[in-house]
Chains A and B, each alone.
Chain A
Amino acid sequence: KQEVTQIPAALSVPEGENLVLNCSFTDSAIYNLQWFRQDPGKGLTSLLLIQSSQREQTSGRLNASLDKSSGRSTLYIAASQPGDSATYLCAALDTGRRALTFGSGTRLQVQP
C-alpha cells in the first residue's frame, strides 16, 4: 500500500526566503505526483503535476522535482510571500488504483 510522507510538518520563514518542501513515497509505480495547496477550511488547489516520466515542472515561483527511483519529490518556492501561507500537500497517483494517496502536509507560515 502506498505511503506518502512530508517533511517538515510545519515551517515558518520570513518573507523573501527561498524554501524547499519534501515529499517521499514508498511505491514507485505511480502515474504522477501532484502538489496541492489548501487554505484553512477550504478545498484543494492544484499547483503542479509531474508525470512519472518527467523530472520537474515549473509554474511561476514554484518548481517541483521528481526522482521516482528514490521515491522523492521536492517543491521549491522562490522569494516567499505572506500570501504563500497555507498547507501544502503532495499526492501520488498509483497505477494500480486510480486515486490519490496524500501526505499529511506541510503547514507554511511566511512572516511579513
Chain B
Amino acid sequence: DTEVTQTPKHLVMGMTNKKSLKCEQHMGHRAMYWYKQKAKKPPELMFVYSYEKLSINESVPSRFSPECPNSSLLNLHLHALQPEDSALYLCASSQDRGHQETQYFGPGTRLLVL
C-alpha cells in the first residue's frame, strides 16, 4: 500500500471557523509533511514531522497548527484563516532515509476561505 489519504477533499470555511485537515498513511513511514500549493505555483513546505516530533516549521503563521498524534496520522488545525490562505494543502510521507527518500503525496485538500 503506497497510498496517502487526505480528508476532506474540499473545505469551505469562514474566517471565524475552526476546522482540521487530516492525513493518514500506513506505509510505516516516519516522516510526514504539510505543503501548501497556490494556483499555478509549486508546493511550498509548511511543516515536517520526524518520528512524531516537529522538526521543521517554515515560519508558518500560528493560525495553522500541526499535530502528529501517532506515526500514521497528521493533522492540520485551522483557525481564523484569511482569504489568502485558500489553496491546495498537500500531505506527504517518506521513510526518512536520506538519499533514497521518495516522498509520497496525498491527493490534497482544496481549501476556500471566505
B108 engages A42 (CB within 8 Å): yes
Residue A53, interface by CB 8 Å:
yes
What is the size category of the interface that chain A forms with chain B? 20 to 34
B43 engages A44 (CB within 8 Å): yes
Contact bitstring A96-107, B, C-beta under 8 A = 1, else 0: 011111111100
Taken together as a complex, chains A and B put the C-alpha atoms of A62 and B81 apart, in Å, by 41
Q: Kindly list chain B residues whose C-beta atoms are within 8 Å of the C-beta of A34.
A: 102-103
B90 engages A44 (CB within 8 Å): yes
Taken together as a complex, chains A and B put the C-alpha atoms of A61 and B43 apart, in Å, by 26
A46 engages B56 (CB within 8 Å): no
Taken together as a complex, chains A and B put the C-alpha atoms of A102 and B33 apart, in Å, by 14
A32 engages B100 (CB within 8 Å): yes
Q: Which of B45, B108, B110 is close to A100, meaning CB atoms less than 8 Å apart?
A: B45
Q: Which of A42, A49, A89, A95 is close to B42, meaning CB atoms less than 8 Å apart?
A: A89
Q: Kindly list chain A residues whose C-beta atoms are within 8 Å of the C-beta of B103.
A: 34, 46, 100
B98 engages A31 (CB within 8 Å): yes
Measured between C-beta atoms, what is the minimum distance from B43 to chain A in Å?
5
Q: Interface of B with A (CB < 8 Å)?
A: 4, 6, 31, 33, 41-45, 48, 50, 55-56, 88, 90, 92, 96, 98-108, 110
- Which 5 A-B residue pairs are closest in the complex by CB-CB distance? A102-B42, A44-B105, A31-B99, A43-B107, A43-B105
